[in-house]
Amino acid sequence: MDSRRMPNIDGVAAALVDGDGRVVGWTSAAEHLLGLPADQVTGRPAADLLADGAGDARALGRRTGEVRLRTGDGATLEVAYQVLPLAGEHGEVRALVLATPADTVARRRQDEAFTRELFLQDRLGLAFFDTDLRLLRTNTHLLPYTGLPAHLAGHRLGDFLQPADAAAAEAVLRGVLVSGEPVVRAELPIRTLDDPGPAVVMEVQAFRLQAPDGTLIGVTALFGDVTELHRYRRRADVLHRATAAVGGSLSVVGTAEDLAGVLVPGLGGRAEVDIAEAVFTGDEPAPGADGLLAVRRTATAGPPGPDARPLGPLGRERLGAPAAAGPLSMSAPLHARGGPLGRVAVHRGEDEGPYEDEDLELLREIAARAALALDNARRYTREHRAAVGLQRSLLPPAETVVPAATTASVYRPTDTATGVGGDWFDVIPLSGARVALVAGDVVGHGLQASATMGRLRTAVRTLADLDLEPDELLVHLDDLVSQLVVEGSEEERERGVADPSGATCVYAVYDPVSGICQAASAGHPPPALVHPGGRVEYLPVNPGPPLGVGGLPFETAECALRAGSVLALYTDGLIEGGGSGGDLDEGMAQLAARLGEADLGGDLAAAGRAIVAEMSTAGLSDDVTLLLARLHPVPAADTAVWTIDADPSAVAGVREAATRTLEGWGLDALVFTTELVLSELVTNAIRYAGGPVMVRLIRSSVLTCEVSDPSSTQPRMRRARLTDEGGRGLYLVAQLTERWGSRYTRNGKTIWAEQPLGPA
pLDDT of residue 338: 75
The CA distance from 285 to 698, in Å, is 59
The residues with which 70 forms a beta bridge, in sequence order, are 76
Which whole-number Å values give the CA distances from 32 to 26, 84, 291, 410, in the listed order? Answer: 11, 21, 97, 98
Over residues 69-89, the mean pLDDT reads 85
pLDDT of residue 144: 56
Minimum mean pLDDT range among 300-304, 339-343, 378-382, 499-503: 499-503
Provide the pLDDT confidence category of residue 121 given band limits of 50, 70 and 90. Answer: confident
Of 334, 410, 687, nearest in space to 568 by CA: 410
The CA distance from 272 to 295, in Å, is 12
- Decide: 427 and 404 in contact? Cβ < 8 Å: no
- Decide: 712 and 438 in contact? Cβ < 8 Å: no
Predicted confidence (pLDDT) at residue 243 exceeds the cutoff of 70: yes
Provide the pLDDT confidence category of residue 726 given band limits of 50, 70 and 90. Answer: very low
Predicted confidence (pLDDT) at residue 376 exceeds the cutoff of 80: yes
Provide the pLDDT confidence category of residue 724 given band limits of 50, 70 and 90. Answer: very low
The pLDDT tens digits for 122-140 are 677 888 899 999 988 887 6
Burial of residue 712 (number of CB atoms within 10 Å: 0-12, 13-18, 19+): exposed
The residues with which 626 forms a beta bridge, in sequence order, are 410, 570
- Decide: 744 and 708 in contact? Cβ < 8 Å: no
Q: Which residue has the higher pLDDT, 583 or 324?
A: 583
Average pLDDT of the chain?
84
Predicted confidence (pLDDT) at residue 496 exceeds the cutoff of 80: no
The pLDDT tens digits for 154-172 are 888 888 888 998 999 999 9
- Decide: 403 and 630 in contact? Cβ < 8 Å: no
- Decide: 247 and 263 in contact? Cβ < 8 Å: no
Sorted by sequence, the CB contacts under 8 Å of residue 522 that are 6+ apart come out as 474, 477, 478, 503, 504, 505, 506, 543, 544, 545, 546, 547, 554
Over residues 443-464, the mean pLDDT reads 85
The CA distance from 243 to 423, in Å, is 35
Predicted confidence (pLDDT) at residue 46 exceeds the cutoff of 90: no
Q: Which residue has the higher pLDDT, 448 or 220?
A: 220
- pTM beyond cutoff 0.85: no
- Decide: 629 and 406 in contact? Cβ < 8 Å: yes
DSSP-derived pairing of the beta strands 5-6 and 23-27: parallel
Q: What's the CATH code, domain 637-756?
A: 3.30.565.10
Sorted by sequence, the CB contacts under 8 Å of residue 672 that are 6+ apart come out as none
pLDDT of residue 344: 93
Residue 165 backbone dihedrals phi, psi, to 5 degrees: -70, -40
Provide the pLDDT confidence category of residue 1 given band limits of 50, 70 and 90. Answer: very low
The CA distance from 713 to 748, in Å, is 8
Determine the straight-line distance between the first and last CA of the chain, rounded to whole angstroms: 146
| Domain with residues 231-386, CATH architecture | 2-Layer Sandwich (3.30)
Report cis status (omega within 30 of 0) of the bond before 413.
Answer: no
Would you tell me how many other CB atoms lie within 10 Å of the CB of residue 240? 11
Sign of the C-alpha dihedral, residues 263, 264, 266, 272? Answer: positive
Q: Which residue has the higher pLDDT, 232 or 512?
A: 512
pLDDT of residue 610: 92
Sign of the C-alpha dihedral, residues 600, 605, 606, 609? Answer: positive
Helices H, strands E: what count in the chain?
16, 33
Fold of 121-225: Beta-Lactamase (3.30.450)
Of 425, 372, 418, nearest in space to 394 by CA: 425
- The CA-CA-CA angle for residues 434, 435, 441, to 5°, reads 155
| Domain with residues 5-107, CATH architecture | 2-Layer Sandwich (3.30)
pLDDT of residue 383: 81
Strands (E), 109-215: 125-130, 135-138, 183-190, 200-210
The residues with which 299 forms a beta bridge, in sequence order, are 273
| pLDDT > 90: percent of the chain | 37
Over residues 456-485, the mean pLDDT reads 90
Which whole-number Å values give the CA distances from 470 to 73, 453, 502, 752, in the listed order? Answer: 111, 19, 20, 20
pLDDT of residue 728: 65
Highest mean pLDDT among 46-50, 112-116, 192-196: 46-50
Provide the pLDDT confidence category of residue 464 given band limits of 50, 70 and 90. Answer: very high
The residues with which 521 forms a beta bridge, in sequence order, are 506
Provide the pLDDT confidence category of residue 56 given band limits of 50, 70 and 90. Answer: very low
Q: What's the CATH code, domain 397-631?
A: 3.60.40.10
DSSP state of 727: -
The CA distance from 556 to 520, in Å, is 5
pLDDT of residue 621: 64
- Domain residue ranges of the chain, discontinuous segments joined by +: 5-107, 121-225, 231-386, 397-631, 637-756
Q: What is the helix (H) or strand (E) element at residue 518, kind and residue range?
A: strand 516-522
Would the CATH topology of 121-225 be identical to that of 231-386?
Answer: yes
Over residues 457-484, the mean pLDDT reads 91
Exposed e or buried b for every residue in 311-350, given b needs 16+ CB within 10 A? eeebeebebeeebebeebbbbbbbbbeebbbbbbbbbbee
The CA distance from 7 to 14, in Å, is 9
The CA distance from 633 to 628, in Å, is 16
